[in-house]
Homo-oligomer: A and B are copies of this chain.
Amino acid sequence: MTHTTEAGLRGGIDLGGTKIEAIVVDAANRVLGSSRHPTPIRGTPQDVAAEMSQAITEAAQAAGTTTSALIGVGVGSPGSVDATTGTVSSARNLPGWDGSYELGNELSHRLGTRVAIGNDVQVATAGEFKLGVGRSYSSLLGIFWGTGVGGGLVFAGKPWRGRGGAGEIGHMVIRRGGRRCPCGNEGCVEAYAGRAAMEAHARREIEGGRRSALLEIMQHKQRERFTSAVWETAVDRGDELAVELIDGAVEALAAGAASAVNLLDVEAVVIGGGLGVRFGEGYVERIRKAMRKHLFPGHTMPDVQLVALGDLGGALGAALLVDQASG
């Protein structure tokens, strides 16, 4: 590896509710090294930062470098992100993170390079828009179907962040007075489609005496939560409760996506996230089909596509933050 190449290396970390994905890329955004760690499910933001630090250090080693030799590291984070100060607040899906934490400063200290932080789904949407399936569109809606349901928006070729928090497609109301959402409101898309909400619902049903193989599959896979792989296996086996909940998720995502398209008339809807990538093309087709009955008759159906960058989209989008920071 030449010095010139090394000088252009950047890191990207996608901090998810289930896993931390870290990569090191070159100037052409080719992945030279990567590492994946499970997100701590107990502890404090400090513990999460330590795990992130470990993951990006391993990715740098795999790329034949060290973190302090990187131009910088970009991070896509859940919760409310202050890009200027690197502070992350109210990251509900992370342990002990109800308050604010200076994630940027902490990581910068540990890694010996500068750190830029953005909202996870906005970052992943920008990644797909610049490097993935979104390249051929000037407007799109990204839907990230995972622990929660997040969204990202691009209008006229530019990301739209509103007052900083735009994209909460998971909290569009699709059933007034409906199921309680982890956010506290009722009838949100995420209440039906978020992996955490579906797990909570399934556990209540099972405790209430309903039969399901979900717990057994989870234990067999040596997991503590119903991961995307657990859901997939249960659905593949025809587990009634799992099929019912995933079908409900497809309907909820489709109603939210169609509502958003009726309002925004974007060219494309791009579907990713842990569950989106795991279930893949077949489910994108199901969502597309279910959107039709909610699409405003005067509208043209937008393209509905699976993300092209797969599991690494969030980390690739995060690495793009470093370019922006040096620009």
Contact = CB atoms under 8 A, between A and B. Distances in A.
Given A165-B265, A165-B299, A173 B174 contact: yes
A264 B167 CA distance: 6
Interface residues of A, number: 50
Given A176-B255, A259-B259, A296-B185, A265 B166 contact: yes
B176 A175 contact: yes
Contact of A262 (B156, B171, B184, B295): B171
Contacts of A251: 176
Interface string A243-281: 000000001100110111011111100000000000000
A266 B162 contact: yes
Given A176-B175, A255-B176, A259-B173, A183 B266 contact: no
B267 A163 contact: yes
A149 to B, nearest CB: 11
Interface string A157-190: 0101111111111011111100000011110000
Contacts of A209: none
A127 interface: no
A157 to B, nearest CB: 12
Contact of A297 (B167, B183, B258, B294): B183
Q: DSSP class of A's interface residues: helix, strand, loop or mixed?
A: loop
Contacts of A267: 163
A263 B171 CA distance: 8
A282 interface: no
Interface in A82-133: 90
Query: What is the oligomeric copy number?
Result: 2
Contacts of A173: 174, 255-256, 258-259, 294
Interface in A270-327: 293-300
Contact of A171 (B167, B176, B296): B296
Contact of A162 (B169, B186, B265): B265
B162 A259 contact: no
Given A174-B174, A176-B255, A251-B176, A296 B265 contact: no
A72 interface: no
A167 B261 CA distance: 9
A151 interface: yes
A80 interface: yes
Interface string A138-159: 0100000000000101011010
A174 B161 CA distance: 24
Contacts of A265: 161-168
A243 to B, nearest CB: 18
A93 to B, nearest CB: 12
A152 B298 CA distance: 16
Given A251-B176, A296-B171, A298-B80, A160 B259 contact: no
Which 6 A-B pairs have CB atoms at the shortest separation, nearest pair first? A162-B265, A166-B265, A172-B259, A171-B296, A168-B262, A171-B262
Given A171-B296, A185-B294, 4 more contacts: A168-B262, A176-B255, A184-B297, A186-B293
